[in-house]
């Protein structure tokens, strides 16, 4: 699987996305002494899944601030430091810990620039990790980007590929706004060639990762990888589809999506989060408003079903959208006949083989 | 008088307390005109805490406040015209009508922000103190908070961290006994509130918040101790004369008694200090009356400025969502 649109680093070392994020953060911190890191276990042996590994050794341990177990205070303090000129980078082990700090994030981080009529700035990065898999269950694996994306003043990004992630976290640290970075734990394992040194990827909107005219898939985070796998099997069978990696949830840049759907006339969205009131709902609604006369099929949204995420690998069968289901849905929207759909689906299921459903498919390690 | 008032902290503080009182009494008087169309939480009766604390601060020191922010804003040197225009929702308001009375700020004067969600500004104040410690710039941040903030988790999270890190921050608790209509006794067990600070290893002082000299002396200790990297806690007893939100007295509606109000009314920080200065021969009745006239003229001019300022245009509401 090559990613010509995203990988600029021919001959560069192949590393995983978690390491690329660490490299991007370190690079940004080296260039700007006002960057400081906060976290619970910010320099512990795990180093937040390795994403903060040895940063303190390079920039000074005084810039690595170990936080008490106090998320609302922690994030409020990081916002206060940002008001006084620091660039605060907070890392949370799971998305759910941010829920303890919603008051600070939604009121103070999101609104201070606005309320102050531009007098204050809040350069803040809030990294939080979606802990899918291995029975993590109802309160350790949620993908709650829709909550943050609802609030004007926040930026929300979800990188899916290693080099892009490196450049995006650097851009997030350099941004004068609060940026929520939602990292899918399974994306941390994906590998690609990543340029060394300084990489900057603007937080400007979606990227096309597969080209095709049959249908447009807009996917977020790890679901982009599932969509790419579906797209490759569909293309082999003669049904090329376009895949857009959304990357930046807010501010939402709809133009490339509208441009693609105007050509393909069909839209399928695939979220890592809940389908109801999710990111896909916003995209489908906006695209339908702008392209209603051009659509040949009703937009379809895929996402998590309308119940919490259970722990048991028995209960999560069918819970997450996967490449096979994405391919089937896309093919049905394009009017492909059932026998053909079953063949494509069968190939994807054979690709996965007997890998258990609660761990990442090694296929997705890349390199992409 | 003015020069003398600047040189002698006693006259300076009395002048500031009187100025704040006149501003807020004028707000109360004119609120029914329905031109100040936002909630107002008046500090009448509590001026001693804001003035006594802010008087010992340097201009570059920082202050964070809450929904009841008028006295803190003015005592820290916030611009009066911009405050009144903000309350009137006008373009020349300190933030152009974006926040109203509950969000007053004047960062150039060190008045960083007022945040109306109870206790929400406490970690922000702790965060600026963290940044200032990094920069070793000698600044102190004061976090004004009410008695109810000690019930909020984020106070404890912030105090714990401030002590752990040795941050230059002063938590100033103005205990006015009520959270809206609910008495402290119905919200917290009986205990010295300073014990809460002590649990976080914060050194504290507890004084009469309506005694200007006592407040100022305690604040001087608290601020200079914080400046050396030891965060401090001040507990200041005071009383809000008027209703929680709005211009009226509300002793008749049943949550507190007229008798209780009267016991605090005679402890008026302004009147007490005026008498004290007169008895000390620093202030004459005539000069006080003259000062009152001068300040009322300034206040009236600020109201005129606010009334004459234009309303902001709707398209201005879209600016500054992102930096």
Q: What is the CATH number of the domain that holds A348?
A: 3.40.50.920
| Domain endpoint, select from A162, A193, A224 | A193
Q: Which domain holds residue A74?
A: 14-193
User: What Å distances lie between residue B263 and B50, B238, B251, CA to CA?
Assistant: 21, 11, 13
Percent of chain B with pLDDT over 90: 98
Interface test with A, best of B157, B166, B171 (most A CBs within 10 A): B157
ipTM: 0.96
Confirm whether A223 is domain-assigned. yes
Closest CB to B96: pick one of A77, A104, A117.
Answer: A117
Residue A182, strand partner residues: A128
Contact criterion met (CB < 8 Å) for A83 and B123: no
Per-residue pLDDT of chain A (368 residues; tens, 9 = 90+): 434 345 556 789 999 999 999 999 999 999 999 999 999 999 999 999 999 999 999 999 999 999 999 999 999 999 999 999 999 999 999 999 999 999 999 999 999 999 999 999 999 999 999 999 889 999 999 999 999 999 999 999 999 999 999 999 999 999 999 999 999 999 999 999 999 999 999 999 999 999 999 999 999 999 999 999 999 999 999 999 999 999 999 999 999 999 999 999 999 999 999 999 999 999 999 999 999 999 999 999 999 999 999 999 999 999 999 999 999 999 999 999 999 999 999 999 998 888 888 888 877 777 76
Cβ neighbours of residue A296 closer than 8 Å, sequence gap 6 or more:
A265, A266
- Averaged pLDDT of chain B: 97
As to burial, measured by CB atoms within 10 angstroms (0-12 exposed, 13-18 middle, 19+ buried), residue B32 is exposed
Contact criterion met (CB < 8 Å) for A80 and B161: no
Instruction: Note whether A271 and A146 are same-domain residues.
Output: no
pLDDT at A360: 86
Q: Any chain A CB within 8 A of the CB of B158?
A: yes
Helix H, strand E, coil C: the string for chain A is CCCCCCCCCCCCCEEEHHHHHHHHHHHHHHHCCCEEEEECCCCCCCCCCCCCCCHHHHHCHHHEEECCCCHHHHHHHHHHHHHCCCEEEEEECCHHHHHHHHHHHHHHHHHHHHHCCCCCCCCEEEEEEECCCCCCCCCCCCCCHHHHHCCCCCEEECCCCHHHHHHHHHHHHHCCCEEEEEEECCHHHCEEECCCCCCCCCCCCCEEEECCCCCEEEECCHHHHHHHHHHHHHHHCCCCCEEEECCEEECCCCHHHHHHHHHHCCEEEEEEEECCCCHHHHHHHHHHHHHHHHCCCCCEEEEECCCCCCCCCCCCCCCCCCHHHHHHHHHHHCCCCHHHHHHHHHHHHHHHCCCCCCCCCHHHHCCC
Mean pLDDT for B252-280 is 97
Residue B313 DSSP one-character state? P
Q: Any chain A CB within 8 A of the CB of B48?
A: no
Confirm whether A8 is domain-assigned. no
pLDDT at A211: 98
CA distance A196 to B304: 62
Instruction: Note whether A179 and A227 are same-domain residues.
Output: no
- φ/ψ region of A279 (left if φ > 0, alpha if ψ in -120 to 50, else beta) reads alpha
Closest CB to A84: pick one of B120, B131, B161.
Answer: B131
> pTM for this structure?
0.96
Q: Any chain A CB within 8 A of the CB of B98?
A: yes
| Domain endpoint, select from A159, A193, A227 | A193
Residues of A with CB below 8 A from B153's CB? 70, 72-73
Q: Any chain A CB within 8 A of the CB of B201?
A: no
Q: Are A247 and A157 in contact (CB under 8 A)?
A: yes
- Averaged pLDDT of chain A: 95
Confirm whether A178 is domain-assigned. yes
Confirm whether A75 is domain-assigned. yes
- Ranges A79-93, A342-356, B90-104, B188-202: which has the least confidence: A342-356
Interface test with B, best of A59, A62, A73 (most B CBs within 10 A): A73
Q: Any chain B CB within 8 A of the CB of A235?
A: no
Q: Are A229 and A323 in contact (CB under 8 A)?
A: yes
pLDDT at A61: 97
pLDDT at B4 over 80: no
Instruction: Note whether A21 and A146 are same-domain residues.
Output: yes
Alpha helices in chain B (DSSP H): 2-7, 9-30, 47-54, 70-75, 80-87, 121-135, 153-165, 193-199, 212-227, 258-265, 269-279, 285-308
Q: Any chain B CB within 8 A of the CB of A120?
A: yes
pLDDT at B1 over 80: no
Instruction: Note whether A171 and A255 are same-domain residues.
Output: no
Instruction: Note whether A338 and A267 are same-domain residues.
Output: yes
CA A36 to chain B, closest CA, distance in angstroms equals: 10
A99: domain CATH number? 3.40.50.970
Instruction: Note whether A116 and A40 are same-domain residues.
Output: yes
- Tokens in use for B30? 């004119």
Confirm whether A201 is domain-assigned. no
Q: Any chain B CB within 8 A of the CB of A97?
A: no
User: What Å distances lie between residue B195 and A28, B191, B199, B215, B301, CA to CA?
Assistant: 43, 7, 6, 19, 45
Cβ count within 10 A of residue A146: 20
Q: Any chain B CB within 8 A of the CB of A150?
A: no
Closest CB to B99: pick one of A68, A115, A155.
Answer: A115
Summarised one tens digit per residue, pLDDT across range A67-97 is 999 999 999 999 999 999 999 999 999 999 9
Domains and CATH numbers, chain B: 2-310 (3.40.50.970)
Contact criterion met (CB < 8 Å) for B128 and A81: yes
Instruction: Note whether A270 and A336 are same-domain residues.
Output: yes
Cβ neighbours of residue B293 closer than 8 Å, sequence gap 6 or more:
none
Angle at B61 between CA B23 and CA B206, to 5 degrees: 75
Instruction: Note whether A115 and A87 are same-domain residues.
Output: yes
Q: Any chain B CB within 8 A of the CB of A253?
A: no
| Domain endpoint, select from A193, A218, A245 | A193
pLDDT at A9: 65
Domain count, chain A: 2
Q: Any chain B CB within 8 A of the CB of A180?
A: no
Q: Any chain A CB within 8 A of the CB of B119?
A: no
User: What Å distances lie between residue A209 and A225, A232, A241, A266, CA to CA?
Assistant: 10, 11, 10, 17
Q: Any chain B CB within 8 A of the CB of A80?
A: yes
Interface test with A, best of B124, B138, B315 (most A CBs within 10 A): B124
Output b/e per residue, A207-236; b: 16+ Cβ within 10 A.
Answer: bbbbebebbbbbbbbbbbbbbbbbbbbbee
Instruction: Note whether A248 and A340 are same-domain residues.
Output: yes
Q: Any chain B CB within 8 A of the CB of A11?
A: no
Instruction: Note whether A218 and A172 are same-domain residues.
Output: no
Confirm whether A172 is domain-assigned. yes
Instruction: Note whether A184 and A223 are same-domain residues.
Output: no
pLDDT at B224: 98
CA distance B266 to B269: 9
pLDDT at A5: 44
CA distance A155 to A110: 9
Confirm whether A254 is domain-assigned. yes
Contact criterion met (CB < 8 Å) for A68 and B160: yes
Instruction: Note whether A62 and A155 are same-domain residues.
Output: yes
Residue of A nearest to B98 (CA): A115
pLDDT at A354: 86
Confirm whether A140 is domain-assigned. yes
CA distance A290 to B295: 59
Closest CB to A115: pick one of B62, B98, B157.
Answer: B98
CA distance B179 to B254: 15
């Amino acid at each position: 699987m090559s990613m010509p649109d995203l990988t600029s680093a021919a001959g560069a070392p192949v590393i995983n996305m978690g390491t690329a994020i660490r490299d991007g953060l370190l690079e940004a911190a080296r260039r700007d002494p006002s960057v400081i890191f906060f976290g619970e276990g910010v320099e512990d042996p795990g180093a937040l899944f390795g994403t903060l590994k040895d940063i303190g050794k390079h920039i000074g341990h005084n810039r690595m601030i170990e936080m008490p177990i106090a998320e609302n205070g922690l994030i409020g303090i990081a916002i206060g430091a940002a008001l006084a000129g620091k660039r605060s980078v907070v890392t949370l082990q799971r998305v759910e810990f941010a829920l303890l700090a919603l008051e600070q994030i939604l009121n103070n981080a999101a609104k201070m620039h606005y309320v102050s009529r531009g007098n204050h700035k809040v350069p803040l990065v809030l990294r939080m990790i979606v802990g899918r898999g291995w029975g993590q269950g109802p309160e350790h694996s949620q993908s709650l980007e829709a909550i943050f994306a609802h609030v004007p003043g926040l930026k929300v990004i979800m990188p899916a590929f290693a080099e892009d992630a490196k450049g995006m976290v650097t851009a997030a640290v350099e941004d004068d706004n609060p940026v929520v970075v939602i990292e899918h734990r399974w994306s941390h394992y994906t590998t690609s060639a990543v340029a060394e040194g300084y990489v900057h990827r603007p937080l400007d909107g979606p990227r096309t990762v597969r080209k095709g005219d049959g249908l447009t898939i807009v996917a977020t985070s790890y679901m982009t990888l599932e969509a790419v796998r579906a797209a490759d099997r569909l293309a082999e069978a003669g049904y090329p589809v376009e895949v857009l990696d959304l990357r930046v949830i807010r501010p939402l840049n709809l133009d490339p999506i509208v441009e693609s759907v105007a050509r393909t006339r069909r839209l399928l969205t695939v979220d890592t989060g809940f389908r109801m009131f999710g990111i896909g709902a916003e995209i489908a609604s906006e695209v339908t408003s702008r392209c209603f006369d051009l659509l040949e099929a009703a937009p379809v949204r895929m996402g998590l079903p309308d119940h919490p995420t259970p722990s048991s690998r028995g209960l999560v069968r069918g819970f997450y959208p996967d490449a096979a289901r994405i391919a089937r849905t896309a093919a049905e929207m394009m009017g492909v006949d059932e026998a053909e759909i079953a063949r494509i689906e069968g190939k994807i299921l054979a690709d996965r083989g007997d890998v258990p459903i609660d761990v990442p498919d090694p296929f997705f390690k890349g390199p992409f | 008088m003015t020069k003398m008032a600047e040189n002698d902290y006693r006259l300076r503080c009395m002048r500031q307390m009187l100025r704040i009182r006149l501003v807020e009494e004028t707000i109360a008087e004119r609120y029914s005109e329905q031109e100040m169309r936002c909630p107002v939480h008046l500090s009448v009766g509590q001026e001693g805490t804001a003035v006594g604390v802010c008087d010992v601060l340097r201009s570059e020191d920082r202050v964070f406040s809450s929904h009841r922010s008028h006295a803190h804003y003015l005592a820290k040197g916030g611009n009066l015209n911009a405050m009144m225009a903000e309350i009137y929702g006008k373009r020349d308001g300190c933030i152009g009508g974006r926040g109203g009375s509950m969000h007053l700020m004047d960062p150039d004067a060190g008045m960083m922000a007022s945040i109306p969600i109870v206790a929400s500004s406490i970690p922000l104040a702790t965060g600026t103190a963290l940044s200032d410690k990094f920069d070793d710039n000698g600044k102190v941040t004061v976090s004004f908070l009410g008695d109810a903030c000690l019930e909020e988790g984020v106070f404890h999270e912030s105090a714990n961290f401030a002590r752990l890190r040795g941050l230059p921050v002063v938590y100033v608790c103005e205990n006015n006994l009520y959270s809206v209509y609910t008495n402290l006794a119905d919200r917290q067990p009986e205990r010295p509130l300073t014990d809460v600070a002590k649990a976080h290893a914060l050194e504290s002082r507890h004084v009469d918040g309506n005694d200007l000299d006592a407040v100022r002396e305690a604040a001087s200790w608290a601020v200079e101790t914080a400046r050396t990297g030891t965060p401090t806690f001040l507990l200041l007893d005071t009383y809000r004369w008027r209703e929680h939100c709005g211009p009226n007295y509300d002793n008749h509606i049943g949550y507190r008694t007229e008798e209780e109000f009267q016991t605090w009314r005679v402890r008026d920080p302004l009147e007490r200090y005026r008498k004290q200065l007169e008895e000390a021969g620093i202030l004459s009745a005539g000069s006080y009356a003259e000062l009152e006239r001068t300040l009322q003229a300034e206040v009236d001019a600020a109201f005129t400025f606010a009334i004459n300022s234009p309303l902001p245009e709707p398209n201005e509401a879209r600016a500054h969502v992102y930096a």
